[in-house]
A and B are shown apart, each in its own frame.
Chain A
Amino acid sequence: MAETRKSRVAIIGCGMIADQHAHQLRYLPGCELVAACDTEGLMAQQLADRFRIPRVFTDAAEMLSVGGIDAVHITTPAQSHFPLARLCLEAGCHVYVEKPFTLNAAEADELLRLADVGGRRITVGHNLQFSPEALRLRKLVHEGFLEGPPIHVESVQCYSHDEPTYGKAVLGDPKHWVRRLPGSLLHNLVSHGIAKIAEFLHSDSPELLSISFSSPYLVEHNHADLVDEVRAVLRDQQGTTAFYLFTTQFGEGSNELRLFGKGGNLVLNNNYRTVIRIRPSKYKSYLRHFLGPLSHAREHARNTMVGIRQFAHKEFQMDFGMRKLMELFYCAIREGGPDPIPLIEIRRTARIMDAIFSQITGLGNHTAVPSNEPIVHAEVLNS
């Protein structure tokens, strides 16, 4: 049933990412931030002060028992996502969980079940899937540019250890919460890149073969207990294949998604916010080599113009993807539309992550892995 009044929203966990949520919620029509909660009272208070949030709590259960909350954004360390999301769902709230959704697929299944049973909405912060370029790519796929679903998908995700607020903090602190996740450093990072693949696969548990190892940088800096390189190959029951690359060796490098279909290819680049359409060349002989690049140049020029137009229309925010995801999430709550991220995709992403991590931990990894002697792990799911 459609809900018409403003959604009253609370945030649990008032650290770095909570700021981005509060910032976007401030501009989102139909929402009002009514409570901030953090076990560290000063952190809750600073968020409340800066975003004029009327109520502050240090205990999530107490906040929910007071009532007056329709939806909760969970922006805490991943270890607490499951218990907090369950608490919120059981209290009758819709839930937006930051990535990674849960620690494993079993927890994800349970949350999705609870949401279904209680008739509540739940989503995960895979906001890169709602960036302006991701929306353009999706539209092209739906319009049939590929002449059918993608035959092959490639997701490239780069990350730099030099990133001061996260990378250096994790490497510098052996007790950092990220290092206690089942997938350790990878766990908090890979879901964006994997979710992009999960969108275009079909079965719940695709076959998966992966190699994981420590980068030369980690080995040199005495962090060979951490794994920060993944190469994974996937295939679903319909035969769609995918390749996932996570690396820290290119610095920030590029974050790309490539879709290959019968009718052509699409290359999405999150860093440049571009979607390049590549069609089989219609030119013959040498003309293909001379005129083909020109059509590529035209594609890049078109993307530049699209970017300028979006900027002029104030649709080029750094966190546009998060705003769009929230907009769709609250639209689904109010008007009963589809989930912005189909629940099956959330489940699929969790299972793919589980498979990659199990191949690391299953062989007792998290120990020294010299970069020139990669430990190779391979596992096939449901093969």
Chain B
Amino acid sequence: MSSDSWIVDRSVRVLVTGAAGFVGSRVAATLLRLGFERVRCNVRRSSDLGLLQAGIPAEGARRCEIVEANLLSREECRQLTADVDLVYHLVAGRGKSFPGCFQGSVITTRNLLDSLVEHGRLKRFVNVSSFAVYSRFHSKRGALWDESCPLEDNLEERHDAYVYGKVKQDELVQHYQERFAIPVTIVRPGIVFGAGKKAIPGFVGMDTFGFFMHLGGNGRLPLTQVENCAEAIVLAGLVKGVEGEVFNIVDDDLPTSRAFLTAYKKEVRNLFSVPVPYPAAYALCALWEWYAKRSKGQLPAVFNRRGCAFAWRGHSYSNRKLKERLGWQCRVPMQAALRRYFEYQRNG
């Protein structure tokens, strides 16, 4: 990874928010591995620091500063962002609560951006968004899913608190980019997997009703191994000339949902699964959505046509922009990544 095309040198202060998380811890580890001298890792007071501490090399401890701060506090944001040149923002609101996700994704980001505007020394703000912000409602099966695809425009029908928070977060970041000339790059990882993740991705199926419904069929999974993903995120903050750009992050050689599930059954446990063809899944989701409205919310519209199209319609994916503009390479090949992942699932 050549540093000739970077916008900063290794001596600048880099802030990673959400640094105790599954991806954030790997982003911090990647920065330290690249030799950055001052990496400030923001964690919540309740965070489990296991993943973060495991990723810090022994000689890297002095270059890494772990700071507990609540991004909902403007004052704590102000202190956290003092003398920071580069920000990797991975904090996001999760869960089923819409205001909770909004608060965790948007209010935190607003506070952070306000502080950075006030300090006035930011070189780049990498906003770690998500594939979840895209809409695939009007796409065809097998269509290409890349950075030019439309974002979700009917959040009420999508009925997903996490998506709501992330879409609004992206809008906010773009607003700050336009209004305050904040140099922003947005990255949108697909399904991030690796040691530390236990659940089977929702793109494959779900076991909500007591048995595993395989919904992904022959569609490809937009997987990205966590170290590969972290490297892409880090590059998005370093490479010159990508301000205002969006990058989707997926690995090479993506498996189909069926191949993934078959390998899972072979390598981890022999899970009983019922395949559900996409048209049947779509019809069931449409029925659920209709009943949710008709019953005035007796069932929440968590299964709906937009969510179904997003996860299970089956698409093709591209990481061409990632490779061409950021010089990213898929260092951990898919087969090796899946082998390690299944090993963790089996033993972890």
Check: A19 CB closer than 8 A to any chain B CB.
yes
- A169 and B99 contacting across the interface, CB-CB below 8 Å: no
- A40 and B107 contacting across the interface, CB-CB below 8 Å: yes
- Inter-chain CA distance A14–B295, complex, in Å, is 25
Chain A, Cβ-Cβ closest to B291: A314
Interface string of A44-62 (1 = CB under 8 A from B): 0011001000000000000
Stretch of A107-115, A171-179, A369-377 lying at the B interface: A171-179
Check: B106 CB closer than 8 A to any chain A CB.
yes
Residues of B with C-beta under 8 A to A19? 97-99
Chain A, Cβ-Cβ closest to B95: A165
Closest approach, in angstroms, between the C-beta of B150 and any C-beta of chain A? 20
- B97 and A311 contacting across the interface, CB-CB below 8 Å: no
Residues of A with C-beta under 8 A to B99? 14-16, 18-19, 43, 46-47
- B296 and A314 contacting across the interface, CB-CB below 8 Å: yes
B46's partner among A40, A50, A171, A318 (CB-CB below 8 A) is A171
- Inter-chain CA distance A19–B44, complex, in Å, is 25
- Inter-chain CA distance A314–B110, complex, in Å, is 40
B97's partner among A16, A43, A171 (CB-CB below 8 A) is A16
Say which size band chain B's interface belongs to.
Answer: 20 to 34
Residues of B with C-beta under 8 A to A237? none
- B45 and A172 contacting across the interface, CB-CB below 8 Å: yes
- Inter-chain CA distance A254–B202, complex, in Å, is 30
Interface string of A166-194 (1 = CB under 8 A from B): 00110111110000000000000000000
- A43 and B103 contacting across the interface, CB-CB below 8 Å: yes
- B107 and A42 contacting across the interface, CB-CB below 8 Å: yes
- A174 and B45 contacting across the interface, CB-CB below 8 Å: yes
Residues of B with C-beta under 8 A to A168? 46
Residues of A with C-beta under 8 A to B201? none
- A43 and B107 contacting across the interface, CB-CB below 8 Å: yes
Chain B residues numbered 220-279 whose CB sits less than 8 Å from any CB in chain A:
none
A46's partner among B44, B45, B47, B102 (CB-CB below 8 A) is B102
Residues of A with C-beta under 8 A to B100? 15-16, 165
Chain B residues numbered 89-120 whose CB sits less than 8 Å from any CB in chain A:
94-95, 97-100, 102-103, 106-107, 110
- A164 and B44 contacting across the interface, CB-CB below 8 Å: no
Check: A316 CB closer than 8 A to any chain B CB.
yes
- Inter-chain CA distance A16–B46, complex, in Å, is 20
Residues of A with C-beta under 8 A to B45? 172-174
Chain A residues numbered 299-345 whose CB sits less than 8 Å from any CB in chain B:
311, 314, 316-318
- B44 and A172 contacting across the interface, CB-CB below 8 Å: yes
Closest approach, in angstroms, between the C-beta of B228 and any C-beta of chain A? 28
Chain A, Cβ-Cβ closest to B106: A42
Check: A139 CB closer than 8 A to any chain B CB.
no
Chain B, Cβ-Cβ closest to A171: B46
- Inter-chain CA distance A40–B100, complex, in Å, is 13
A173's partner among B46, B95, B98, B295 (CB-CB below 8 A) is B46
Check: B78 CB closer than 8 A to any chain A CB.
no
Residues of A with C-beta under 8 A to B98? 19, 46, 50
B156's partner among A50, A171, A173 (CB-CB below 8 A) is A50
Check: B177 CB closer than 8 A to any chain A CB.
no
- Inter-chain CA distance A27–B297, complex, in Å, is 9
- Inter-chain CA distance A168–B48, complex, in Å, is 12
Given A18-B99, A19-B97, also A46-B168 (CB < 8 A): yes
- A172 and B46 contacting across the interface, CB-CB below 8 Å: yes
- Inter-chain CA distance A314–B99, complex, in Å, is 26
Check: A23 CB closer than 8 A to any chain B CB.
yes
Chain B residues numbered 37-62 whose CB sits less than 8 Å from any CB in chain A:
44-47
Given A46-B98, A173-B70, also A317-B296 (CB < 8 A): yes
- Inter-chain CA distance A314–B296, complex, in Å, is 8
Check: B298 CB closer than 8 A to any chain A CB.
yes
Chain A, Cβ-Cβ closest to B110: A42
- B296 and A43 contacting across the interface, CB-CB below 8 Å: no
Residues of B with C-beta under 8 A to A175? 70
Interface string of A3-33 (1 = CB under 8 A from B): 0000000000011101100010001000000
Residues of B with C-beta under 8 A to A23? 297
- A314 and B46 contacting across the interface, CB-CB below 8 Å: no
- Inter-chain CA distance A174–B70, complex, in Å, is 11
- Inter-chain CA distance A43–B111, complex, in Å, is 13
Cross-chain pairs A/B with CB under 8 angstroms, 24 sampled: A14-B99, A15-B99, A18-B99, A19-B99, A27-B297, A42-B102, A42-B106, A42-B110, A43-B107, A46-B98, A46-B102, A50-B98, A164-B95, A172-B44, A172-B45, A172-B46, A173-B44, A175-B70, A314-B295, A314-B296, A314-B298, A316-B298, A317-B297, A317-B298
The 7 A-B pairs at the shortest CB distance, nearest first, are namely A172-B46, A314-B295, A27-B296, A46-B102, A16-B97, A317-B298, A314-B298
Given contacts A16-B99, A43-B103, 9 further A-B contacts (CB under 8 A): A18-B99, A27-B297, A42-B102, A46-B98, A46-B99, A47-B99, A173-B45, A317-B298, A318-B300
